[in-house]
Amino acid sequence: MQQFLQKLKTQPMMSGTSTGQAFWHTSAEADLLDSHSPVDGQLMARVYPTTREDYDQVVETARAAFLKWRLVPAPRRGEIVRQMGEQFRQYKKELGTLVSYEMGKSLQEGMGEVQEIIDICDFAVGQSRQLYGLTMHSERPDHRMYEQWHPLGVVGIISAFNFPVAVWSWNAMLAWICGNVCIWKPSEKTPLTALACQQIIKEVLEQNEVPEGVSCLITGGRDVGALLAEDPRIALVSATGSTRMGKAVAQTVAGRLGRYLLELGGNNAMIISQHADLNVAIPAIVFGAVGTAGQRCTSTRRLIIQESIYEDVKQRLVKAYGQLRIGNPLDEKNHVGPLIDRAAVAGYQAALFQIKEQGGRLLIDGEILEGPDFESGCYVRPAIAEMPAQTEVVQHETFAPILYLLKYGTLDEAIALQNGVPQGLSSSIFTLNLREAERFLSAAGSDCGIANVNIGTSGAEIGGAFGGEKETGGGRESGSDAWKAYMRRQTNTINYGTTLPLAQGIKFEL
């Protein structure tokens, strides 16, 4: 990994485009972005933020690239994405380790995130030959109707720290095979992994003589993301993050009648029926609640348990949590790494305070871990709390490993609890009862974008469209027909006859 990092440390990167051209900020007064690892608190890199001047130059370079890239046949664009996938295969270990160290997720999850990039590259290659439109029969004689799809232009991608590279790839790979160019604004908390991705694909883009500007990187905080949202030159803004951030992006982009794709907060629930196979359910609950230290948008936050098995499930969970190993995520023996920073730790502490204040009972107390193995101050103990159903803290997403236990009597009560929050991303039920499973998946069941049976709330595959409803934003990324979000539909009618019949039988004679 040291050699890999050395490639990235040749110069302090600020903003740049696909084949390595960089636009350097010259002001000595620029406040550098410091990337500290939550693993050990060490400073990994200092990155120049993008200025308005820099931003405008990047956008104009991207716009010029689009005029050429849109004319490249889609299967050829897919071939270039295929080569990117091969590059990510080559650097999977190095990039996965970097993701783990900069973000704090376990090494296995870091490798898994890079595998998601590889998988979406494979998916996009096939999709590049399947950008299908429809043909329709015209009501007019000697006429043919069909629809086709064209690229939008410049796509802005705002990604979050918790999946610092995978979510970019879900957007970028599909946007590219559709003929768009991309400007990526990664989280200011994880800029180095973004720079690494840009370096990894650089060789592919150069070898294929891809126009400068097809893949662009800008860095900075909320103000830099706002530039994308406000800019009428950006055809689509895809934003992943908090509901508060998503609402601001939506209002700004809608104000200029632009397009947006939002992947926002989740407050995901798992229903445990009395008909559940608990040997399957318990590992799913634990991974869903503590994986990535509870910092997935699909993390399991609420566990809705049938009252007849409530005590059994509770005892099993307490036992399972007692076996968790917390520590350096680069050690594959550990299950739980750190939170991203001390601000996240403060949010965790605030939620623990609210649990007690609102009548909850902690089965496993949360705490900040101290000692030589936890020097960054970002390691916390995953907590479990029994809660009254309608308390305020349960209604909100806390990006930390806190699991709320709730009881239910009937399945309808469980579904009402599941749906009774503002968010609507992921959900699941554990049951061997076919009627319960089908009820949960019906229109009268889960109101989430993702609804699973006998698997957890996290761990979505790239083949299905990913996204949620309500305050989760309504966006869909990755598989299925999510490619349509990155294209514009055009309806075409061709008259191959010698007369001009009008639609709806209208007569117009001169």
Indicate which residues carry an active-site annotation: 263
Residue 223: exposure state from Cβ atoms within 10 A (0-12, 13-18, ≥19): exposed
Q: What is the Cα Rg of the chain in Å?
A: 25
Q: How far apart are the first and last CA of the chain?
A: 77
Q: At 150, list the tokens.
A: 């064209």
- For 309, other C-beta atoms within 10 Å of its C-beta total 17
Check if the beta carbon of residue 329 is closer than 8 Å to that of residue 280. Answer: no
Q: Report which DSSP code applies to 326.
A: B
Check if the beta carbon of residue 198 is closer than 8 Å to that of residue 217. Answer: yes
Helix pair 191-207, 74-90: axis angle to 10 deg? 130
Q: At 316, list the tokens.
A: 């099993």
Strand, helix or coil for residue 113: helix
Q: How far is C-alpha 206 from the geometric centre of its chain's CA atoms? A: 28
Check if the beta carbon of residue 210 is closer than 8 Å to that of residue 129. Answer: no
Query: 224, 202, 70: which is closest to 157 by C-alpha?
Result: 224
Helix pair 107-127, 92-103: axis angle to 10 deg? 120
Check if the beta carbon of residue 24 is closer than 8 Å to that of residue 47. Answer: no
With a CB cutoff of 8 Å and minimum separation 6, the contacts of 258 are: 232, 234, 235, 236, 237
- For 246, other C-beta atoms within 10 Å of its C-beta total 23
For residues 278 and 264, give the distance between their C-alpha atoms in angstroms, rounded to a whole number: 31
Query: 337, 37, 87: which is closest to 196 by C-alpha?
Result: 87
Q: Report which DSSP code applies to 501.
A: P
Residue 369: exposure state from Cβ atoms within 10 A (0-12, 13-18, ≥19): middle
For residues 444 and 24, give the distance between their C-alpha atoms in angstroms, rounded to a whole number: 55
| DSSP letter string, 20-41 | S-EE----TT--PEEEE-TTT-
- Within 13 Å and on the Cβ side, how many CA atoms surround 441? 12
The b-or-e profile of 198-217 (16+ CB within 10 A means b, else e) is bbbbbebbeeeebbbbbbbb
Strand, helix or coil for residue 485: helix
